[in-house]
Amino acid sequence: MRKITYKMNRLISISSNNDIPKELLDTPVGLLLQYHNLDRKFEEYTSAQMLIGMCMDNRKHLHMPENFAYIIRTGGANLRYSEFRVSYAIAVGGVHYIVLIGHNNCGMVNLLSRKVQFINGLVENAGWTKEEAEDHFYHFEPIHEIGNEVEFVCSEAKRIRLRYPKITVVPMIYLVEDNKLYLVNE
């Protein structure tokens, strides 16, 4: 396993099947890593094998078969406000695996640095008043700020594990420079 220097050397590169931890290899998580990073030939699926929570960022695209996974895309891979959808995937969809995929250079990190752009964008693009846009930013920024991408996916994985103790939850990071998935060494 080769570790990539990014946020405290916590990312584990997956460039062969040998890099996938044995406990994940024969699971939907292992398959996702094989499909996306190792170009495994696609199999056909009639039902979702897992739930993927990932950022809404347009720079990320997963290489995987149709019907392989439920996907919830939300800023920073923050599933705090998508819990009913998570529960649905588990209860009705029957998934036993959740992968949380954050990515580097995420817009949900240091939101305060984008305050002026955010407010001006709502005024110019949405027709809001400056006061409406400011109120909106100050109300929602604290609950959408994720801080550090790696730390956030790890803390979100821990939170979801506590909520759904029989579900395997795995944090990952997508590096936009190479379009690869990396496991996070928790």
Mean pLDDT of the chain: 93
129-135: Cβ within 8 A, 24+ apart: none
SS3 21: coil
pLDDT tens profile 18-65: 999 999 999 999 999 999 999 999 999 999 999 999 999 888 889 999
Domains of the chain in sequence order: 3-107+147-184 (3.40.1050.10), 110-145 (no CATH)
d(CA 21, CA 154): 17
**Which residue did the predictor score with more confidence, 4 or 109?**
109
Q: Is the pLDDT of residue 2 over 50?
A: no
pTM of the model: 0.90
In 88-177 the beta strands, taken as DSSP E runs, fall at: 97-103, 168-175
For helices 130-144 and 115-126, the axis angle rounded to 10 degrees is: 130
Q: Is the pLDDT of residue 91 over 90?
A: yes
pLDDT tens profile 141-169: 998 988 899 999 999 999 999 999 999 99
Q: Is the pLDDT of residue 170 over 70?
A: yes
Rg of the chain taking only CA atoms, in angstroms: 18
